[in-house]
Homo-oligomer: A and B are copies of this chain.
């Protein structure tokens, strides 16, 4: 998950931050409730903390920091705010708060239909968020943490991500990615993105995420210390890129889910700078449970991710997936639409195939990634994906 915990950073209007009790706040004694999860010691030991993307042991983290320090001249991280960065094609915009980066979709970032993959879009969100912090002058050593956070041994962890894609950019297309941050309650931060076509100004994608702080050694969630609020607060912008649909809960799937992929094992190349499974890998595991026939004829229009726990390199992961409530397995294990008795397997076998399939397929899936434990399973992330049919050209092109 490190991928996303790199994100991070600023704000413009500090509403109620000043009322919070923070004098002498010690991160490793604080206890913050979030999405029903507590950061108390017990909770951490029980595995319900979500230590998104950080090293598991202090030793690893400290070595990493030393490396970066030694290479500082090669990295050239600015100590103060830079209005533009010619190498990253980055600009501080919107009254000095928001960040805009111009990006060309590269040849290896597109899928078989020559449009940017979901993986590419998630990677670019991370990259622009980090470059926002980079250019702000707030970046300390490590990934996205401010100077005040480093002083307090705090790291960012993502708790929620909501991405909507109206149109996928194509190979060679130039897009502008805007990102900014805002307050989210007393102890969290919101980060938003807009991806826009440079060619016609259309908004191709929008995303909103929520971030909280965790102590890097105790792995417990922490309140936001006052000195960190003071760093971030001046960067907050209230505007949100997506419409909040938090009201609709993502249910927790169980072993009765229609699709189950078990025994997923992280490979070395799935690990990021903090030796944890990268967030983008999670999404790949989620989507790989959906049948290829569906993926070839549909494209993802929205994904919501609710993070619960990190995943380490030795964990064995299970990916569960369930089409929306009208779809289920019948007694023989066939995939059935409860509303009209449509049976996918027989429909295709009987030659009504693709067209019948297209008219009857689900448009939403619920997902769960969990770590298989000896006694109990531990949730990594819940997800919901929404899909739309591809255009004919894309469908033919992907056969």
Interface residues of A (CB under 8 A from B): 3, 6, 59-60, 63-64, 66-68, 70-71, 73-77, 87-89, 102, 104, 106-108, 110-114, 117, 119, 123, 126-127, 130, 134, 143, 169-174, 197-199, 267-269, 271-275, 278, 280, 284, 288, 292, 295, 393-394, 396-399
Residues in chain B near residue A130, CB distance under 8 A: 107
Is there contact, CB below 8 Å, between B119 and A269?
yes
Is there contact, CB below 8 Å, between A112 and B397?
no
Q: Is the interface of A mostly helix, strand, loop or mixed?
A: mixed
Is there contact, CB below 8 Å, between B397 and A64?
yes
Residues in chain B near residue A106, CB distance under 8 A: 123, 127
Separation of A173 and B70 alpha carbons in the complex (Å):
13
Most chain B CB within a 10 A radius of its CB, from A107, A112, A170 = A107
Known: A63-B393, A110-B272, A269-B288. 13 other contacts (CB 8 A): A6-B107, A59-B399, A60-B397, A63-B396, A64-B397, A67-B397, A68-B170, A70-B393, A71-B173, A74-B199, A108-B123, A111-B273, A112-B271
Is there contact, CB below 8 Å, between B172 and A134?
yes
Separation of A74 and B74 alpha carbons in the complex (Å):
35
Is there contact, CB below 8 Å, between B112 and A75?
no
Separation of A275 and B296 alpha carbons in the complex (Å):
11
Separation of A174 and B90 alpha carbons in the complex (Å):
14
Is there contact, CB below 8 Å, between B284 and A68?
no
